[in-house]
């Protein structure tokens, strides 16, 4: 959703060239920061017993971070920042989250291949 919202802002202001640097920045963020968190999340899920609360997927610290990110997104969306800046930020953040999700998909496909 972040990527699509960012793209819509970039289309509105006719600044599609911002997509390339946003994806590059998002890839760097994914590789340097989010990949580690994604791998920790996968290991945490694998350690959980059947019947564990869905909220236990993330630690309390991570849930607080998620709430802060949601709040920051709401503030950004309602700010007076230019559309090209908001669009670039949303594309970069959305892409980094999407790109780091590859670890979960790789794990899932590995599990399917073992069956």
- pLDDT one-digit tens code per residue, 40-64: 888 888 887 676 776 777 778 888 9
Q: Where are the domains of the chain?
A: 2-114
For position 68, what pLDDT does the model report?
Answer: 94
Best CA proximity match to 73, nearest among 50, 46, 92: 92
- pLDDT one-digit tens code per residue, 19-37: 999 999 999 999 999 899 8
For position 42, what pLDDT does the model report?
Answer: 82
**CB contact at 8 A, 51 and 43:** no
Q: How many residues belong to the chain?
A: 115
What does the pLDDT average to over 61-73?
89
For position 105, what pLDDT does the model report?
Answer: 87
- pLDDT one-digit tens code per residue, 72-98: 988 988 999 898 999 999 999 999 999
For position 51, what pLDDT does the model report?
Answer: 66
**Apex 90 CA angle, 96 and 95, nearest 5:** 20
pTM of the model: 0.81
């Amino acid at each position: 959703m972040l990527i699509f919202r960012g793209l819509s802002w970039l289309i509105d202001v006719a600044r599609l060239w911002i997509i390339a640097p946003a994806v590059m920045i998002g890839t760097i963020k994914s590789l340097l920061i989010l990949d580690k968190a994604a791998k920790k999340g996968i290991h945490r899920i694998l350690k959980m017993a059947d019947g564990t609360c869905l909220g236990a997927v993330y630690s309390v610290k991570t849930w607080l971070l998620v709430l802060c990110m949601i709040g920051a997104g709401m503030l950004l969306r309602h700010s007076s920042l230019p559309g090209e800046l908001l669009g670039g930020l949303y594309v970069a953040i959305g892409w980094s989250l999407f790109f780091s999700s590859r670890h979960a998909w790789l794990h899932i496909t590995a599990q399917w291949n073992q069956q």
